[in-house]
Amino acid sequence: MVSALGLGTVKFGRNEAVKYPHSFQIPDDRSIVFLLSKAHEAGINLLDTAPAYGAAQVRIGKLIGADSDWIICSKVGEQFINGRSIYDYSEPAVIASVENSLKQLKRDVLDIVLIHSDGNDTDILQNTPILETLLRMKEQGKIKALGISSKTIAGGTMALQFSDVIMCTYNLIEKNELPVIQAAESAGKSIFIKKGLMSGHLQKAGKIDPLYASYQHIFLQQAVSSLIIGTINPVHLQQNIDTFLSVIKKFGKAAVSDSVAGRTRHRGRNA
């Protein structure tokens, strides 16, 4: 059971080659612990991370270790080295990446592992050994659930055949991947939303209250289990929690809360 809001952790470990509107300093351990505590108190239990997020995984492992109260979604296929992304979907690279994430996060098993796509979703799924490798590692008990952080309709739709969850982009402006969300609903699969708040560029949406409009827009999609928010600011975190709750209050439990519940074992509970 994942919370309706998930906490993205790229800002825990990386502040270069990112697409946020303002520069930021990577927070110290004390600040991260405070943020995690505030999130946990609100009911958030999902952390989204990746090997490509700099030191994020190492810091998560150091600060929360094997704490079973947290469900961790990591990724495989991308590394961020010397200021640029390096993609490798070969079997040795995938195995090494998963094993390294287990070590860094201080876990015996990874809750969720997503393929970190470089944009060539269908080619990755059809012409590399990554899917077969991850399915084998799932059978071995090193991964509980798997999927893809997709970038195309074709890739996201194809991945529904094997995935427990798909992560896709969906916000007030970027709606291209809506067919993936709709296909997930039909298939009884769950969706995690990335860039739902436009990576801090909500002013471009032209709405009176773009944060509120974003939450309404996203959570009325029945397949959505969780929206990943990437804040390191406790005030912004609380604003997101309050906005989510206000959307529930206005539209009613049946309209929003049930959609957050999703359709698979990775369904949400209200943050």
Name residues of the chain where pLDDT drops below 50: 253-271
Q: What is the pLDDT of residue 252?
A: 58
User: How many folded domains does the chain comprise?
Assistant: 1
Q: Give me the CATH number covering residue 56.
A: 3.20.20.100
Q: What is the pLDDT of residue 256?
A: 41
**What interhelical angle do 29-41 and 56-64 show, nearest 10?**
70
Indicate the angle between helix axes 91-105 and 56-64, nearest 10 degrees. Answer: 40
Q: Contact at 8 Å (CB) between 229 and 238?
A: no
Q: Which domain holds residue 90?
A: 2-269
* Torsion angles phi and psi, residue 112, rounded to 5: -140, 135
Q: Per-residue pLDDT tens for 182-217?
A: 999 999 999 999 999 999 899 999 889 999 999 999
8 A C-beta contact, residue 237 and residue 35: yes
pLDDT digits (tens, 9 = 90+) for 134-158: 999 999 999 999 999 999 999 999 9
- pLDDT, position 271: 45
Largest CA distance in the chain: 50
Query: What is the pLDDT, as a whole number, of residue 13?
Result: 95
Mean of pLDDT over the chain: 91
Residue 10 phi/psi, 5-degree rounding, is -60, -35
Please report the pLDDT score of residue 22 as a whole number: 85
